[in-house]
């Protein structure tokens, strides 16, 4: 039977981890996978997470099952963190293994409700979006998103493409910190987009993996809140990997907003999907998040540290934009300072990306996406000079 299996091409982002690891050069620079790193290259366990883990170790008396949805307190805390007050009666939620687990469950829910549903993705998007959709045998379409000439959003292209959405189509939106480009809509563009999608009868599906990494914890939720208030049905897949730094704990949530009278049916369907795919979702990371969000002092400390991470990425952005300006003697890369989140797509060719890897030991995704947090004060000018050489 298994001789039928064919080799699978490796994920382009994850592939870089091994390539980087196997590179013996001591001055190599890793700007690949989206993991936060401090100036010394470490991905720290956040202070509030450590404190919650200590408390949990002392206080936890059982590891018996929670519920199929996970601990309901986790779902409620995440609905509150993402949406604020006023949505509880419309919200069904399940804990999932990471944000990817939430995306997978959302797509399965869509397929269960309508096997013919079409899912619209931004071009470009996180490569695992189309990969999972294809794997599930679902229909997909793309809408223009990135303007390579300016490094900003091609908003006219986006509106033109999404103007062709049919009623009941699902439109996947990056709630903040677009991955891979780093280019994001303004508040008024989000309003125009929401009005268009409402007029078309679309179902929005928000992927929110970087809340707190862009303009701040509340500002990064603003677009999701706008969408949540404007549509009767919304799916939100959120990750705690980045903003709580608990990548390997696999902590995410899928929130499905529906009419209040349909919340129980929705919750039952979400629970069913968890049961079919892995039964009870992982609890450890979700419990830490619930403890942090529910405890005033842990929450304040977590918010403070998250803000430190965000500010660090912002100053690296500005530093890189400045260094590129002087190294290339042009404003070509000024958009890096305007981008938000972990990533920026630099607009280099695949050959230039390869040269950076081979000649300079600088690792970025083939589409020239860099992880800003992979930089530090010392590597910013090194990267800028290397880029200037390969584009010059």
Query: Taking a C-beta distance cutoff of 8 angstroms, is the pair 143, 96 a contact?
Result: no
Neighbours of 38 (CB within 10 A): 13
| CA triple 153-154-155, angle to 5 deg | 90
User: Of 91 and 245, which has the nearer Cβ to ligand LMR?
Assistant: 245
Q: Minimum distance from CB of 179 to ligand LMR (Å)? A: 5
Shortest-Cβ-distance residue relative to ligand LMR: 34
Which listed residue (93, 95, 209, 384) is catalytic? Answer: 209
Q: Minimum distance from CB of 242 to ligand LMR (Å)? A: 8
Catalytic, 117? Answer: no
User: Of 126 and 213, which has the nearer Cβ to ligand LMR?
Assistant: 126
Q: Minimum distance from CB of 343 to ligand LMR (Å)? A: 7
Catalytic, 37? Answer: no
Alpha helices in the chain (DSSP H): 12-21, 47-59, 72-83, 98-113, 128-135, 155-162, 187-200, 222-230, 263-277, 284-294, 296-328, 335-338, 350-360, 379-391
Catalytic, 195? Answer: no
User: Of 32 and 319, which has the nearer Cβ to ligand LMR?
Assistant: 32
Which listed residue (30, 183, 220, 242) is catalytic? Answer: 242
Which listed residue (30, 207, 220, 283) is catalytic? Answer: 207
Rounded Cα distance between 357 and 368, Å, is 11
Which listed residue (91, 106, 126, 161) is catalytic? Answer: 126
Catalytic, 12? Answer: no
Residues that bind ligand LMR (CB under 6 A): 13, 33-34, 126, 179
The tokens describing 158, both together, are 């986006």
- 20: nearest Cα among 376, 374, 362, 261: 362
Residue 212, Ramachandran bin (φ over 0: left; ψ between -120 and 50: alpha; else beta): left
Q: Minimum distance from CB of 329 to ligand LMR (Å)? A: 31
User: Of 34 and 281, which has the nearer Cβ to ligand LMR?
Assistant: 34
> Catalytic positions, please?
126, 207, 209, 242
């Amino acid at each position: 039977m298994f001789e039928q299996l064919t080799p699978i091409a490796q994920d382009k982002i994850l592939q870089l981890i091994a390539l980087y690891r196997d590179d013996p050069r001591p001055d190599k620079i890793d700007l690949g996978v989206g993991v936060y790193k401090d100036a010394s290259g470490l991905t720290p366990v956040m202070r509030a997470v450590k404190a919650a883990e200590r408390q949990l170790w002392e206080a936890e008396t059982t590891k018996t099952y929670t519920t199929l949805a996970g601990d309901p307190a986790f779902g409620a805390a995440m609905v509150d963190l993402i949406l604020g007050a006023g949505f509880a009666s419309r919200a069904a939620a399940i804990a999932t293994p990471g944000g990817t687990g939430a995306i997978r469950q959302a797509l399965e829910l869509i397929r269960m409700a309508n096997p013919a549903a079409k899912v619209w993705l931004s071009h470009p998007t996180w490569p695992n979006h189309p990969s999972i959709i294809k794997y599930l045998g679902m229909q997909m379409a793309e809408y223009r998103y990135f303007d390579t000439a300016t490094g900003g959003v091609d908003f006219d292209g986006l509106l033109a493409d999404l103007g062709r959405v049919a009623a009941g189509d699902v439109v996947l939106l990056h709630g903040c910190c677009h991955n891979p480009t780093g280019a994001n809509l303004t508040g008024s563009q989000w309003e125009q987009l929401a009005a268009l999608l409402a007029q078309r009868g679309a179902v929005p599906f928000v992927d929110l993996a970087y809340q707190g990494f862009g303009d701040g914890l509340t500002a990064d939720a603003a677009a999701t809140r706008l969408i949540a208030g404007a549509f009767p049905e919304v799916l939100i897949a959120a990750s705690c990997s980045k903003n709580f730094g608990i990548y390997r704990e696999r902590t995410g949530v899928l929130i499905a907003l529906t009419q209040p009278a349909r919340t129980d049916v929705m919750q039952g369907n979400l629970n069913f999907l968890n049961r079919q795919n892995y039964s009870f979702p992982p609890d450890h990371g979700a419990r830490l998040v619930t403890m942090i969000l529910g405890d005033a002092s842990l929450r304040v400390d977590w918010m403070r540290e998250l803000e430190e991470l965000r500010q660090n990425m912002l100053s690296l952005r500005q530093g890189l934009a400045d260094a590129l300006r002087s190294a290339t003697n042009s404003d070509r890369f000024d958009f890096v300072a305007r981008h938000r989140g972990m990533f920026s797509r630099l607009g280099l060719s695949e050959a230039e990306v390869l040269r950076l890897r081979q000649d300079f030991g600088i690792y970025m995704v083939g589409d020239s996406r860099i992880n800003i947090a992979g930089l530090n004060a010392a590597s910013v000018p090194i990267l800028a000079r290397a880029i200037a050489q390969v584009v010059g």
